[in-house]
Structure 1
Amino acid sequence: MEPLLVIAVLAVCVVLLFDYTNGFHDAANVVATVIASRAMTPARAVVLVATFEFLGPLLAGTAVANTIGGFVDLGELPAELSLGVLLCGLLGAIGWNLLTWWWGIPSSSSHALVGGLIGAVVAAVGAGHVVWGFEAWLAGGSPSGVSKVLLALVLSPLLGFAVGYLIHRLLSFLLRAARPAFNRRLRAAQYFTTAGLAFSHGANDAQKSMGILTLVLLLGGFIPAFEVPFWVVLACATAMTLGILSGGWRIVRTLGFAVYKVRPLHALDSQLTSAAVILSASIAGAPVSTSHVVASSIMGIGASEHPRRVRWGKAGEIAATWAITIPASAAAGALLLLLLRPLFE
């Protein structure tokens, strides 16, 4: 078997492995509030989420995939080396996902992917082959490349906090006269809001892997242009769904209990907020972090009700992890590339 084909097959397998780790890492972000509020058992929640996660990438288009596939420029490199760069970046992201899962911290798989790829590209050929997009943006153009990715990843938790704060205030006002028995209806409504959140997560996160997998095919010369094949959509949807069925229960405890005590109304508000923010970003082609949006929505909901009861110390730990994810995964991607580069030349 030719070396190029071997590296390409290995890269495809690693992309799907990343998609799998993304699934079980982020599954906890999707099911945390519905489990914490006792609206569903963990098994029922995971089955519901897995179903709509699978449908998300199949029905939501490829706008996010196009964004992710366009922030590195590896067209001038030999095919083997360009695929090796993608491979090392993905392995760095997978390593960070596993580490933060073990710690039970809801870090961002999106940040890890971006950081790992940037680190590997810079280590291989320098920063000039990363499409930063900042100059064009500052000159009055639209964000593109890394600038678009980072803008989405920075703004999404702010929107999650603000929208969560406002939605909880509104629904608390509308339900101010409701009796405790109304919680049964709130729990029942979470079947719909959880399905919406799962669909939006699948529509956004699986597309990141779709974009990288399509880039692998393009750089390897297996397709003539950057167009996401249907089998890529199906493979990434399947890998993420299998990851979700594996679950990530360590993170459920952090989001469901350690930031703010989540009750049925809080869970419903968080799911509405997160689904709206993530689905809007998917339509705009902006990759966002589900963990950031869900965690920040819970903080916003807690702040709107009892700010002193929000465990800001735990929130600070989560924020610190967010801040170091890109540098840490970039370092991992760069180190792997430096160690493995002789295999790709």
Structure 2
Amino acid sequence: MLGLWVVIALALVFNYTNGFHDAANAVATAVSTRALPLRWALAMGAAMNLIGALLSTGVAVTVADGVIAPPNGGTGLAVVLAAVVGAIVWNIATWYFGLPSSSSHALIGGLVGAAIASASQVHWAGVVDKVIIPMVVSPLVGLVLGYLVMTGVLWAFRRGNAHRVRRGFRHAQIVSAAALALGHGLQDAQKSMGVIVLALAVTGVYHGSGVPLWVVLSCAGAMAAGSYSGGLRVMRTLGRRVFPMTPPHGFAAELSGAAVLYVTAFAWAAPISTTHVITTAIMGVGATRRPSAVRWGIAGDIVTGWVLTLPAAAVVAAVVYWPASLVLG
């Protein structure tokens, strides 16, 4: 039973690290364009993360049932423990270097790596359908949608007074940033919910098909706390180094990112990355000025982090599984 509580605690720690890592993604544009002061932006992001986490559990069910099938008992608990540790290690490493990688894919990579190390079943069809395909498609959609929305904004306000337009979009960006933070809570808080449900299931403590309310509330609270603590290193990368944004740019990027998050959560129940979507949306928005306005070298570094996330977290989880299995198996 102690092992179960350790896994639950680590899952909440992961959610906290997810919050301070990915909170930057949700509010970076609003801060960089001065639509909101830093602490106000983080407080708003934390509140919207909390609300978003309470709206749906579809992604949580996908994580709990659609990725791996560990055995019951101590071995299964060791798999879940190793997966969470792998994700936390990768989250902290990428946060330290200011690299906006995906917490979602770190967790999925950890689950798959630990499952392979333990010879547990991996639902490869589910990994491809719910992880790999969305991982590729959602950033592309974010890129194209960001470009199209910004093009529409430029056309609609082409005769407007530049000062008034910027001031108006600075206010509008508060709404779009809140929408993006809501989508982040809707997506990312559910990953840890799924892990906790998986741990409860393999230990025989829970046999239901949904997510217990206490799991929802604890994960939502952990993410909100992490979000408020912020992630300035990642925020500088997204808010300033990819593309120098104005309020209309920030509004278009946030609106595009939020739309992708909502559709994938409610219609697909796929655990996609807020980081991937908002970063490519920023690139798409920036490309409307001119392609050279986007610092593609920085974007290349970010993409490298994306590519490394799944295998790196998987390797860490596989290494952690062996000592964990000795203790819990």
Give TM-score, length-normalised by structure 1. 0.92
| Letter aligned with residue 38 of structure 1 | R
Partner of 1:61: 56
**In structure 2, how many angstroms separate the alpha carbons of the residues matched to 1:340 and 1:80?**
9
Aligned residues of 2:74 and 2:325 also touching (Cα < 8 A): no
Alignment of 1:316-331 (within 5 A): 316-331=300-315
* CA displacement, residues 159-191 of structure 1 (integer Å, 9 cap, x when unaligned): 100100100001111011121222111111112
* CA displacement, residues 267-324 of structure 1 (integer Å, 9 cap, x when unaligned): 0001100110001111021111000001000111111221111100000000111011
**In structure 1, how many angstroms separate the alpha carbons of the residues matched to 2:314 and 2:252?**
34
* CA displacement, residues 13-61 of structure 1 (integer Å, 9 cap, x when unaligned): 0110111000000000011100110111001101111111100011x22
Q: Secondary structure at the match of 2:34?
A: coil
Aligned length: 327
**In structure 2, how many angstroms separate the alpha carbons of the residues matched to 1:160 and 1:251?**
19
Q: By how many angstroms is 1:147 displaced?
A: 3.0
**In structure 1, how many angstroms separate the alpha carbons of the residues matched to 2:72 and 2:171?**
55
- 2:325 corresponds to 1:341: yes
Alignment of 1:93-104 (within 5 A): 93-104=87-98
Query: Of 43, 48, 53, which aligns to 1:47?
Result: 43
**In structure 1, how many angstroms separate the alpha carbons of the residues matched to 2:175 and 2:43?**
14
Partner of 2:259: 276
- 2:142 corresponds to 1:160: yes
Q: By how many angstroms is 1:74 displaced?
A: 3.5
| Letter aligned with residue 243 of structure 1 | G
**In structure 2, how many angstroms separate the alpha carbons of the residues matched to 1:184 and 1:301?**
18
**In structure 2, how many angstroms separate the alpha carbons of the residues matched to 1:146 and 1:17?**
27
Partner of 1:210: 193
| Letter aligned with residue 134 of structure 2 | A
**In structure 1, how many angstroms separate the alpha carbons of the residues matched to 2:293 and 2:146?**
16
* CA displacement, residues 52-95 of structure 1 (integer Å, 9 cap, x when unaligned): 1100011x2211111111234445x2411101110011001000
| Letter aligned with residue 302 of structure 1 | G
Partner of 1:151: 133
Partner of 1:123: 117
CA RMSD of superposed structures (Å): 1.1
- 2:157 corresponds to 1:175: yes
Q: Secondary structure at the match of 2:118?
A: helix
Partner of 2:65: 70
Structure 1 runs, 4 residues or longer, greater than 4 Å off: none
**In structure 2, how many angstroms separate the alpha carbons of the residues matched to 1:91 and 1:146?**
23
- 2:83 corresponds to 1:89: yes
**In structure 2, how many angstroms separate the alpha carbons of the residues matched to 1:215 and 1:174?**
49
Q: By how many angstroms is 1:341 displaced?
A: 2.2
Q: Secondary structure at the match of 2:270?
A: coil
Aligned residues of 1:218 and 1:226 also touching (Cα < 8 A): no
Aligned residues of 1:80 and 1:220 also touching (Cα < 8 A): yes
* CA displacement, residues 242-278 of structure 1 (integer Å, 9 cap, x when unaligned): 0001100001110011111111111000110011000
Unaligned runs of 5+ residues in structure 1 are 134-143
| Letter aligned with residue 9 of structure 2 | C
| Letter aligned with residue 103 of structure 2 | S
Partner of 1:252: 235
Q: Secondary structure at the match of 1:69?
A: helix
